[in-house]
Structure 1
């Protein structure tokens, strides 16, 4: 347990630990656990996975749904200040934030051979083992309603993980836990990238003429299966990239600060892996949308912080909010079939989208939800927080609720914490949004 000091002298309790998984427990998964501030004996338990793959769960804890935030000040050389998040989801639920897969956050492999290699299926297998061991150590939570949650690339791993846990319960491998469903924000599903151009058009980032030309020359396949000999498509796509080059794709109302420093590198038309591309630009300055990342980097690499967290010395080098420098196998091309299987089993799901995210546009999410072909039980309408429209929602007969979060980006709770907490609170209590 750690007492984290916040501004004003408040001390916040965090429980953190390693759990060994895999052969001889060679993989050590690091996690943070925050008990519900409400009624932890009865409140839901969330297992939170951050996307990437390779991003630390500290992101979910301190930027999105956890009880702490950084005070956003220009860095002065001292340890960044933590403050309380008044809209933490831990007010009504307990949350386990897991650094997964191995290589993310403080999670590490004891040996650098096969243990350090991971992928969609291997990550899920490790998480099932983690979850089983965690419940053995915390049997008081077995009867609590349990949900698996995450965002971004977790849209691939969470549905696979829920199905694996569900199968384990049915086969008697896992304890008979009260698994109720899952929650996903702006989730990668497969084929999402092809909706970026229609999204850019709808948001007036590209002209009608360019949009029509792209549709005609590329045939709707903008990011994959592009014929290299299709020079017209490639030319129009380059024009599209020039139009959006100064836009922060995670939240299109912000500017991409790296644009004026160094152009992004890498193949921009690769499927899913485009989420992993990161420019080797200089560190962000105060006011850039990714400046808060820098505060985490200073905080997590401070030797006093590492000592307080009992991080094993020599296990990792520099901590990064998102580590993309390890081998990863993308085994799951699309998670739609997993959503279909889970719907057939009767699990609840909340799928939400920040409507100003171009990385995983809400158009892509709406498309795969429609493909499940379930009837609508509560049709498209606004949902309101304190008299203001917070977004729009629709509910389906498979117990799936879809919601947009108005004027929010890729990690919606980071942009609209009050609204997202209201959304979660209503949904988790079986209330209409």
Structure 2
């Protein structure tokens, strides 16, 4: 803890001394050169676009050789130079924001089935903001460390600290984004990353005479918020959505203490038996088809499966959702020409790029993980930051019931009572506005809300950035 605070103090001192004065000509020249080195001229198979892209590395620990990989897609709006900057973080822990956020959720491109070409996402969030995707911590995606023992010491605290260091160094490289309105968004275990980073930024801003990170707010989707409430909420979701039997449900309630630090052997047995009731489904999206392994199916068979399910699945789900998009990303980002165009894999990592990293994903490697984010929420709500929590209602892993249980513990006064909001002429979900926080459900969306409901997610973003309630009609 002492070492962490010393690093933080040094960061504050060094950053404050340089941020309170204008850039010198040499500093300006240096940042322009670094930006140009990171500029993406064009990605392989990319359609022509009118916005700029940059990607590359920022070193966050010199002695250990830890560097984080980023990808900036500037806004496609003519007023991109005044649009806010939004940092997107995926969770896991250990999953890539390039693979998920950028490539199948909010980024400007989608990858075709063969991994050979890109096509435009008609609901990209870069119509509204400049998007900064970050692979964090080191070991995720193209981010790396030269010290293998680092993987045994990764955790919440170091991830938040190095994400702050990344931002400071990145904004030194891109000074045009200093003082710009800044937001953070993410999903799943980024329910830890996002508020923890927001707290670090708030502490940094308090310590500076003239902060350069103009944090306005943050937004998290299907987040890991409070382990006790998440456990209880998941079990309730499984039972209420007919995923498990009454017998399995009652066995869990009998054998599990949801406030315990760890589940007992009897509780683990009860939950494992209940999981067998699920069947072979995508637990992150319980009503959509699961991606089948290539050796078991081909594209024609997959299309037949989709047609068979057309009678029970809404057409708007079938039209937008492809359950195999993660595999397309793993083809595309392992291509040497793609890595060269993105200035990635500069250390020639001796393993394939994967959407989620085994080095980080193994829970026993994760050094620290707070049981609850609710104390941080209370602290940040008091600062006046804009805070939204959204939840796709077909996710059984971080379900809407868990989020509602967690939010109820905050005991926030209701400002605008529960009402349905609209995406086009359809109900997009429901929302309730509290004093200091807005809660939103997204109808028919799984764990990755913008993947399942791209139009609704874009409406959600616009309302969030504008600080306005979601449309009632």
**What interval of TM-score do these two structures reach, taking the shorter chain for normalisation?**
0.7 to 0.9
Query: Which runs of 5 or more residues in structure 2 are unaligned?
Result: 1-38, 306-321
User: 2 CA distance for matches of 1:290 and 1:284?
Assistant: 13
Higher strand residue share = 1
Match of 1:299 in 2: 332
Q: How does 1:164-179 map to 2 (within 5 A)?
A: 164-172=200-208, 175-179=211-215
Match of 2:409 in 1: 371
**Closer, same or farther in 2 for the Cα pair 1:5/1:304, shift >3 Å?**
closer
Shift of 1:220: 5.5
Q: How does 1:283-298 map to 2 (within 5 A)?
A: 286=299, 287=302, 290-298=323-331
Task: Provide the alpha-carbon RMSD of the alignment.
Answer: 2.6
User: 1 CA distance for matches of 2:127 and 2:350?
Assistant: 32
1:308 maps to which of 318, 325, 341: 341
User: Could you say what secondary structure the match of 2:358 adopts?
Assistant: coil
User: 1 CA distance for matches of 2:48 and 2:200?
Assistant: 43
Moved more, 342-351 or 38-47: 38-47
Match of 1:275 in 2: none
Moved more, 234-243 or 405-414: 234-243
Tell me, yes or no, if the aligned pair for 1:103 and 1:116 is still in contact at 8 Å.
no
User: 1 CA distance for matches of 2:212 and 2:338?
Assistant: 37
User: Could you say what secondary structure the match of 1:331 adopts?
Assistant: coil
User: 1 CA distance for matches of 2:107 and 2:350?
Assistant: 24
Q: Is 1:243 the equivalent of 2:282?
A: no
Q: How does 1:104-119 map to 2 (within 5 A)?
A: 104-114=140-150, 117-119=153-155
User: Could you say what secondary structure the match of 2:276 adopts?
Assistant: helix
Match of 2:451 in 1: 414
User: 1 CA distance for matches of 2:287 and 2:137?
Assistant: 31
Higher helix residue share = 2
Cα distance per residue 1:286-337 (max 9 Å; x no partner): 5496521111111111111112122204235210011132433233222111
Match of 1:382 in 2: 420
User: Could you say what secondary structure the match of 1:17 adopts?
Assistant: strand
Q: How does 1:178-217 map to 2 (within 5 A)?
A: 178-191=214-227, 192-215=230-253, 217=254
1:28 maps to which of 60, 67, 81: 67
Q: Is 1:101 the equivalent of 2:137?
A: yes
User: 1 CA distance for matches of 2:446 and 2:87?
Assistant: 22
Q: TM-score, normalised by structure 2?
A: 0.79
User: Could you say what secondary structure the match of 2:284 adopts?
Assistant: coil
Q: TM-score, normalised by structure 1?
A: 0.86
Cα distance per residue 1:99-137 (max 9 Å; x no partner): 100000101113334487421111111111111111122
Consecutive aligned runs of 4 or more in structure 1 exceeding 4 Å deviation: 5-12, 233-236, 255-258, 281-290
Shift of 1:23: 3.8
Shift of 1:223: 9.3
Q: Is 1:90 the equivalent of 2:126?
A: yes
User: 1 CA distance for matches of 2:48 and 2:204?
Assistant: 44
User: 2 CA distance for matches of 1:220 and 1:282?
Assistant: 42
User: 1 CA distance for matches of 2:275 and 2:171?
Assistant: 47
Moved more, 199-208 or 410-419: 199-208
User: 1 CA distance for matches of 2:421 and 2:155?
Assistant: 37
User: 2 CA distance for matches of 1:430 and 1:195?
Assistant: 29
Q: Is 1:55 the equivalent of 2:68?
A: no
Shift of 1:42: 2.1
Match of 1:267 in 2: none
Q: Is 1:320 the equivalent of 2:360?
A: no
Shift of 1:240: 1.5
Shift of 1:41: 2.6
Moved more, 415-424 or 190-199: 190-199
Q: Is 1:70 the equivalent of 2:111?
A: yes
**Closer, same or farther in 2 for the Cα pair 1:131/1:392, shift >3 Å?**
same
Cα distance per residue 1:374-429 (max 9 Å; x no partner): 1010111100011110000011111x111111010001001000110011112211
Aligned residues: 402
Tell me, yes or no, if the aligned pair for 2:45 and 2:116 is still in contact at 8 Å.
no
User: 1 CA distance for matches of 2:87 and 2:54?
Assistant: 14
Match of 1:404 in 2: 441
Tell me, yes or no, if the aligned pair for 2:51 and 2:74 is still in contact at 8 Å.
no
User: 1 CA distance for matches of 2:296 and 2:356?
Assistant: 14
